[in-house]
């Protein structure tokens, strides 16, 4: 017989002890994991229940007593009070330009001259035609005198002969000659008038070749250069653009249709331009126009403001943003606008506990119901805290500037704390 030696591991493997120990260890590890998960769920549930018992915190502000200014903001451009475009009624080559940008001009001052060589030649031609017409008038008058004398002589002979001589045919011929002579004389006179009018029109065009300023003002733009050809066949070309007086200007702004009912003539305003960021200019409303403009479905109404520009700091075309003072309230009780919009949340009834499974599964958020607004018109309410709970106080509202609102109520005075928002809910 042969002896065999067995190691301890072989014996354990043979008996199946290793498989049992490994399975036991895995069960212990899973048990520990389950205990940790259950502990975390219980901790989260307890924390949530503890947090839900905290009271809602509110943001508050104090009512204040002071003055309220209601403004309407609008944007527009600065324009001169009177702008004149100076053109030319005649065509020709510009001979000289005697005014430049920013020049101050007076009435009848020469701005430019157009070459009149062609017009002067036409004037000479029309003068000659006028002289010829006058000569024809003299000739026609002489013929009229001659035929009139002959006709008078024939009439005399006819009267003395008691109609026997001359014959009727001769008498009619003399009479017709006399009538033709009168017609020729009248035609010659009309030709003189026509030639005179043609010459006068040409002379007028010669005077219009000198472009003069129609107003006292300043040159804003110049659209002509010496040697340039001006063609006035279809419409009068604009050569200069003049502003009458830049010390007095107008600001044309577009007021939104929601604010136009508050804007009236005589109201004061302030405005600013990008050129002077540290300066505020004053203006006064002079006109609110009834005609509307619609741009991108927005309806606006043009409003004109009078501006003093004595120092000539402002220039035409500048874009300005104006604040129009439409109302002033003195010594009023003011609350933030957010206080009128606030409504305390009303949570639904608390849902029953859903156990461990319910804690693991998500659920929809609790809806916060808000009571219906019962205020109409200017009768509204604000909320104040009493014993830590919000209490509604009815108020009558007045003017507002967007941030603050004038309120009238015996329960709201300067220093009263009103609720404007919810700070936190159960941390």
Structure tokens at 70: 């209601």
Mean residue pLDDT across the chain: 85
Give the separation between CA 354 and CA 45, rounded to whole angstroms. 11
The predicted model gives 61-87 an average pLDDT of 94
Q: Roughly what angle, to the nearest 10 degrees, separates helices 168-208 and 117-160? A: 160
CA 156 to chain centre: 89
> Looking at the predicted structure, is the pLDDT value of residue 46 above 90?
no
Q: Which residues contact 298 (CB under 8 A, 6 or more apart)?
A: 256
Give the separation between CA 318 and CA 200, rounded to whole angstroms. 46
Give the separation between CA 267 and CA 326, rounded to whole angstroms. 7
The predicted model gives 45-71 an average pLDDT of 77
Sign of CA dihedral 230, 232, 235, 238: positive
162 in helix, strand or coil? Answer: coil
pLDDT in tens, 266-318: 999 999 999 999 999 999 999 999 999 999 999 999 999 999 999 999 999 99
Residue owning tokens 């402002």:
314
- More reliable by pLDDT, 384 or 28: 384
Does 115 sit behind a cis peptide bond, omega within 30 degrees of 0 on the bond before it?
A: no
Give the separation between CA 70 and CA 267, rounded to whole angstroms. 12
pTM recorded for the entire structure: 0.64
4: pLDDT confidence band, cut at 50, 70 and 90? very low
CB 280 within 8 A of CB 323: no
- Choose the most confident range, by mean pLDDT, from 9-13, 14-18, 104-108: 104-108
pLDDT in tens, 199-247: 999 999 999 999 999 999 999 999 999 999 998 877 788 999 999 989 9
Give the separation between CA 71 and CA 110, rounded to whole angstroms. 48
CB 48 within 8 A of CB 427: no
20: pLDDT confidence band, cut at 50, 70 and 90? low
Beta 389-400 vs 379-386: how paired, if at all? antiparallel
| Alpha helices, H only, 209-246 | none
Give the separation between CA 403 and CA 337, rounded to whole angstroms. 5
54: pLDDT confidence band, cut at 50, 70 and 90? low
Give pLDDT, residue 377. Answer: 45
Structure tokens at 326: 């439409």
Q: Which residues contact 382 (CB under 8 A, 6 or more apart)?
A: 335, 339, 340, 342, 392, 393, 395, 407, 412, 418, 419
Q: How far is CA 238 from CA 15, 96, 205, 223, in A?
A: 118, 16, 17, 7
Give the separation between CA 372 and CA 386, rounded to whole angstroms. 22
């Amino acid at each position: 017989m042969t002896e065999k030696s067995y190691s301890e591991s072989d014996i354990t493997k043979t008996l199946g002890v290793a498989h049992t120990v490994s399975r036991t260890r895995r069960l212990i590890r899973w048990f520990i994991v389950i205990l940790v998960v259950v502990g975390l769920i219980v901790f989260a549930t307890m924390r949530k229940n503890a947090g839900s018992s905290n009271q809602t915190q509110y943001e508050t502000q104090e009512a204040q007593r002071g003055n309220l200014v209601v403004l309407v903001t609008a944007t527009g451009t600065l324009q001169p009070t009177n702008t004149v475009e100076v053109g030319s009624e005649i065509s020709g080559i510009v001979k000289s330009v005697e005014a430049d940008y920013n020049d101050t001009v007076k009435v009848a001052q020469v701005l430019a001259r157009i070459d009149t060589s062609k017009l002067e030649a036409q004037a000479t031609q029309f003068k000659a035609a006028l002289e010829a017409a006058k000569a024809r008038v003299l000739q026609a008058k002489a013929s009229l005198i001659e035929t009139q004398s002959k006709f008078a002589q024939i009439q005399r002979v006819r009267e003395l002969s008691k109609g026997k001589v001359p014959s009727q045919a001769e008498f009619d011929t003399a009479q017709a000659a006399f009538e033709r002579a009168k017609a020729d004389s009248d035609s010659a006179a009309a030709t003189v008038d026509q030639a005179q009018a043609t010459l006068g029109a040409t002379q007028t065009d010669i005077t219009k070749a000198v472009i003069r300023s129609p107003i006292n003002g300043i040159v804003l733009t110049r659209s002509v250069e010496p040697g340039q050809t001006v063609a006035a066949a279809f419409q009068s070309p604009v050569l200069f653009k003049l502003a009458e007086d830049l010390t007095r200007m107008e600001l044309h702004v577009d007021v939104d249709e929601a604010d136009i009912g508050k804007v009236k003539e005589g109201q004061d305003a302030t405005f600013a331009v990008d050129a002077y960021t540290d300066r505020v200019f004053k203006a006064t409303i002079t006109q609110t126009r009834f005609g509307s403009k619609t741009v991108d479905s927005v309806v606006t109404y043009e409003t004109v403001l009078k501006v003093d520009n004595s120092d000539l700091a402002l220039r035409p075309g500048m874009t300005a943003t104006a604040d129009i003072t439409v109302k002033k309230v003195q010594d009023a009780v003011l609350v933030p606008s957010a206080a009128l919009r606030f409504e305390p949340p009303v949570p639904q009834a608390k849902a029953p506990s859903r156990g461990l499974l319910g804690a693991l599964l998500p659920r929809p958020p609790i809806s916060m119901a808000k009571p219906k607004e019962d205020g109409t018109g200017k009768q509204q309410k604000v909320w104040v805290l009493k014993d830590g709970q919000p209490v509604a106080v009815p108020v009558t509202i007045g003017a507002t500037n967007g941030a603050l609102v004038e309120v009238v109520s015996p329960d709201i005075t300067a220093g009263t704390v009103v609720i404007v928002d919810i700070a936190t809910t159960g941390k």
